[in-house]
């Protein structure tokens, strides 16, 4: 039997076994397979058909990290099927580097096994879309003081960086007066202070030029935005 | 910035001090800028015209500039001196001027020159690691080269031959090469984006006249409070403790000639005005207020 036939047989056997997804993503509201949910069954089926999975990490010539799940035919170890994926590190704001590494390994192993065995899960992109919808309704406060890293040897811990909403308009106006007018128009319709700040940030370069060249106009813009902020604060306080 | 000349140094040096050597080119932020605390950056920008510095205090910064000018003239095959690189990150332009890139095939070693003291050389320099890793990331992103090594060429300004002979832990030569550990590129990118975000947020706060984000304890170089076990008629401590309890436990086993002296930790950078803006800093004023309340 070829290695492909063995693998296909293993996939078929696994599809007939009912396995419980014990992982729960409460934020995006979906269940997922944890390694412990399927690995014992996989080892059992692999033992029967004569396959063995070997998981490893590697680097290419450019230093890019890859992980590989090699499914080896135990009757002829020179015959195997490789499943490869680039490595993406887990982002955990409060974890130390070794925890990040451990989480990355667990995630990558899980995904690689799911791919190799064609185990089905809910569409996580859909799930994430739902979660980002929720996030808009209730913004998560931005972290203002990320941890400092005490040792030279220790890299910074990957933490999510708030990205600016791409729909925030960058205004390119032919005159300072028009720029201020358009800024005010967009500022008026901002639904939150966060959006107002994003509008300011995206147009920071033009605002700096305005401050340098026309302080009066800059002050007018600043005071208009001050009023918008007061209104948004009152609105959020139910006044 | 107003440059004063309190010690009557030659006008030639005074004129040099008045020249603006530092430039971030046509970028919104420089690597040096994003590495420093957002509060300090904003206060410096706001009070730029009022900040005073004496020529005598600018000696090392002048010599640093001189070294860069001299290094720029050196020509070694495969070496690139003093190159400024630019990159777009989240809609802003970040630039970094790299002292030396030693290129070998598709690999690069990045070197930065630093004037430093023998004492500082033996401390953990997280800011050196951050800066060099950002430079490494810049070179990797822009030139596609693999960063083989990051290092600092430290020029020890107070080096003593005698101390080097006496103490094997002391730098054995006035120039030391220090290797910096390479971070993962993905981590470095997150770090860069986070620093830029902090600075952009601080800029909005400054424009809107909101309170600026506080400097962290690390950024203020806060020295921890220590508890010194003292003995009457003796000036120095018998032992220093990090916690009051540890000190008190030992004190309880000793006679009444012993006592505990609390050596309150202080933000060294603020207290000594190493940031140059403490007189305009509300965080420093609050610290002073708390200090005076404690002493009442």
pLDDT tens-digit profile of A3-23? 888 898 898 888 888 888 887
Pair B156, B118: CB distance under 8 Å: yes
Given CB atoms, is B49 within the 8 Å cutoff of chain A?
A: no
Pair A122, A31: CB distance under 8 Å: yes
The whole-number average pLDDT for the span B261-286 is 93
Given CB atoms, is A199 within the 8 Å cutoff of chain B?
A: no
The whole-number average pLDDT for the span B16-28 is 75
pLDDT of residue B19 exceeding 80, the answer is no
More confident residue, B32 or A124: B32
Given CB atoms, is B191 within the 8 Å cutoff of chain A?
A: yes
Out of B126, B190, B203, name the one closest to residue A161 (CB). B190
Look at residue A131 in the predicted model and tell me its pLDDT.
35
For A110, the token pair is: 């899980």
Look at residue A167 in the predicted model and tell me its pLDDT.
75
ipTM of the complex: 0.77
For residue B105, what are the contacts with CB-CB under 8 A and spacing of at least 6? none
Tokens 């390479």 -> residue: B182
Classify each residue of A66-77 as buried b or exposed e, where b means 16 or more C-beta atoms within 10 Å of its C-beta. Answer: ebebbbbbeeee
For B227, the token pair is: 């508890």
Q: What is the pLDDT of residues A158-202, one digit of tens each?
A: 445 556 666 788 888 888 888 998 899 889 888 899 899 999 999
Pair A87, A108: CB distance under 8 Å: yes
Closest by Cα among A22, A113, A127 to A69: A113
Measured CA to CA, the distance from residue A100 to residue A88 in angstroms comes to: 11
DSSP B67-91: HHHHHHH---TTEEEEEEEEEEETT
Pair B270, B278: CB distance under 8 Å: yes
For B112, the token pair is: 């930065």
Looking at A45-54, A139-148, B4-13, B148-157, which range is the least confident one?
Answer: A139-148
Q: Tell me the chain B residues in contact with residue A194 when contact means C-beta distances shorter than 8 Å.
A: none
- Please provide the average confidence, as pLDDT, over all residues in chain B: 91
Q: For residue A85, what are the CA distances in angstroms to A7, A46, A60, B105, B160?
A: 19, 22, 12, 27, 54
The answer to whether B188 contacts A156, with C-beta atoms less than 8 Å apart, is yes
Overall pTM > 0.90: no
Look at residue B196 in the predicted model and tell me its pLDDT.
95
For B277, the token pair is: 């803006």
Given CB atoms, is B197 within the 8 Å cutoff of chain A?
A: yes
Look at residue B202 in the predicted model and tell me its pLDDT.
97
The answer to whether B194 contacts A201, with C-beta atoms less than 8 Å apart, is no
Measured CA to CA, the distance from residue A143 to residue B116 in angstroms comes to: 33
The whole-number average pLDDT for the span A22-47 is 78
pLDDT of residue B197 exceeding 70, the answer is yes
Q: What is the pLDDT of residues A69-115, one digit of tens each?
A: 999 988 888 888 888 887 776 655 556 777 777 777 887 888 888 88
Look at residue A239 in the predicted model and tell me its pLDDT.
67
């Amino acid at each position: 039997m070829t290695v492909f036939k063995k693998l296909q047989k293993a996939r078929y056997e696994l599809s007939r076994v009912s396995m419980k997804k014990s992982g729960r993503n409460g934020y995006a509201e979906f269940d997922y397979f944890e390694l412990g949910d399927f690995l014992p069954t996989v080892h059992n089926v692999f033992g029967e058909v004569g396959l063995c999975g070997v998981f490893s990490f590697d680097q290419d010539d450019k230093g890019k990290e890859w992980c590989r799940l090699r499914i080896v035919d135990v009757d002829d170890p020179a015959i195997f099927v490789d499943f490869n994926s680039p490595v993406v590190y887990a982002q955990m704001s409060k974890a130390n580097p070794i925890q990040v590494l451990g989480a990355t390994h667990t995630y990558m192993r899980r995904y690689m096994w799911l791919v190799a065995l064609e185990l089905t899960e809910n569409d996580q992109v859909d799930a994430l879309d739902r979660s980002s919808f929720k996030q808009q309704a209730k913004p998560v406060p931005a972290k203002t003081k990320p941890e400092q890293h005490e040792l030279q040897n220790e890299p910074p811990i990957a933490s999510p960086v708030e990205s600016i909403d791409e729909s925030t308009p960058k205004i390119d106006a032919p005159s300072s007066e028009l720029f201020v007018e358009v800024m005010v128009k967009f500022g008026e319709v901002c639904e939150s202070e966060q959006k107002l700040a994003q509008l300011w940030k995206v147009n920071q370069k033009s605002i700096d030029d305005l401050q340098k060249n026309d302080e009066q106009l800059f002050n007018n813009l600043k005071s208009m935005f001050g009023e918008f902020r007061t209104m948004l604060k009152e609105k959020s306080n139910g006044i | 910035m107003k440059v004063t000349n309190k010690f009557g140094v030659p006008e030639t040096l005074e004129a040099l001090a008045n020249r603006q050597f530092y430039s971030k080119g046509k970028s919104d932020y420089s690597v040096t800028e994003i590495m420093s605390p957002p509060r300090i950056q904003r206060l410096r920008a706001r009070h730029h015209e009022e900040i005073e510095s004496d020529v005598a205090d600018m000696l090392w910064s002048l010599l640093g500039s001189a070294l860069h000018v001299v290094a720029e003239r050196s020509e070694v095959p495969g070496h690139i001196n003093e190159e400024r690189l630019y990159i777009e990150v989240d809609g802003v332009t970040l630039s970094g001027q790299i002292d030396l890139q030693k290129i070998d095939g598709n690999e690069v070693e990045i070197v930065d020159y630093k004037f430093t003291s023998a004492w500082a050389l033996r401390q953990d320099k997280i800011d050196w690691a951050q800066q060099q890793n950002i430079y490494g990331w810049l070179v990797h992103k822009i030139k596609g080269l693999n960063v083989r090594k990051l290092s600092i060429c430290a020029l020890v300004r107070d080096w003593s031959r005698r101390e080097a002979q006496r103490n094997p832990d002391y730098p054995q030569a006035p120039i030391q090469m220090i290797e910096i550990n390479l971070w993962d590129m993905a981590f470095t990118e997150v770090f860069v984006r986070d620093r830029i975000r902090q600075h952009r947020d601080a800029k909005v706060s400054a424009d809107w006249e909101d309170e600026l984000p506080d400097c962290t304890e690390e950024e203020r170089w806060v020295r921890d409070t220590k508890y010194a076990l003292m003995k009457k008629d003796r000036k120095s401590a018998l032992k220093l403790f990090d916690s009051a309890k540890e000190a008190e436990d030992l004190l309880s086993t000793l006679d009444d000639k012993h006592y505990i002296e609390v050596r309150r930790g202080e933000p060294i950078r603020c207290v000594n005005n190493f940031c140059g803006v403490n007189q305009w800093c509300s965080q420093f004023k609050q610290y002073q207020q708390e200090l005076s309340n404690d002493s009442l």
